[in-house]
Amino acid sequence: MISQPVAVPFRCVLVAPNEPASVRLARETAEMTYTGWGINPRHPVLGPALLVLSELVSNSVRHAATDSPQITVTYAASTSVWITCRCDLASSTP
C-alpha cells in the first residue's frame, strides 16, 4: 500500500534552546496549539501524544545538548491526520 501525502493546513513551529526547561515549554505549547485548533484537551489520544513529545524533547536534552544548541518542534494537524509533532536538532557544526 502506497500512501499519498496529506495536506496539513494547521502548523506551528517552536524553536527553543536545548535545555531542560524546553521539555515543559514544548508540552505547554502543544497543549495551547492543539486547543487553539479545536482539538479537545480530553481527547484520548492527546495525553499519549504529549507524553511522547515530552520524551522526545527530554531525550534531545539528555543526549544531544552538546551537539545541538537548539531544538525545533513542529506541530501539525489536518482533518485526517490530527496530531503530529516532529523534533529536530540544529547542528552546531557546518
Each residue's pLDDT tens digit, 14-65: 999 989 999 999 999 999 998 888 888 888 888 888 999 999 899 888 888 7
In-domain check, residue 1: no
pTM reported for the whole predicted model: 0.79
Range of the domain at 33: 10-89
In-domain check, residue 3: no
Burial class (CB in 10 A: 0-12, 13-18, 19+), 30: buried
CB 87 within 8 A of CB 71: yes
CATH number at residue 63: 3.30.565.10
Per residue in 5-14, pLDDT tens? 666 678 889 9
In-domain check, residue 5: no
Q: What's the domain count of the chain? A: 1
Cα 80 to Cα 28: distance, rounded to the nearest angstrom: 23
- Confidence (pLDDT) at 94: 47
The angle formed by the CA atoms of residues 31, 65 and 45, to the nearest 5 degrees, is: 25
In-domain check, residue 54: yes
C-alpha cell at 63: 543526549
